[in-house]
Amino acid sequence: DQYLGAAEFKRGVLRELRERGFEIELALDDDEAICAMYHDEDLPALYVHSGYYVAPPSAGGPSAAPAGR
């Protein structure tokens, strides 16, 4: 099986970039688990909320458009 999860794929890319001489200073990601992986690799990382991992709002929920629009 050659499938890698997103965190392991990105860990491999990070290591390859470092081996090639790149000095990575900061990572940004919309997945908190991947940010944790970057921290494990001694790389500062910022979580950027994208909404991708959040369930869509229900009809009439707080983010629903006001009536008449």
Q: Which band of pLDDT confidence, cut at 50, 70 and 90, is reported for residue 60?
A: low
Task: Give per-residue pLDDT as tens, 17-59.
Answer: 999 999 999 999 999 999 999 999 999 999 999 988 777 777 6
Please tell me the pTM assigned to this model.
Answer: 0.71
Sequence-ordered strand ranges (E) for the chain: 27-29, 45-47
Distance of CA 15 to the CA centre of its chain: 17
User: What is the dihedral sign for C-alpha 13, 16, 20, 22?
Assistant: positive
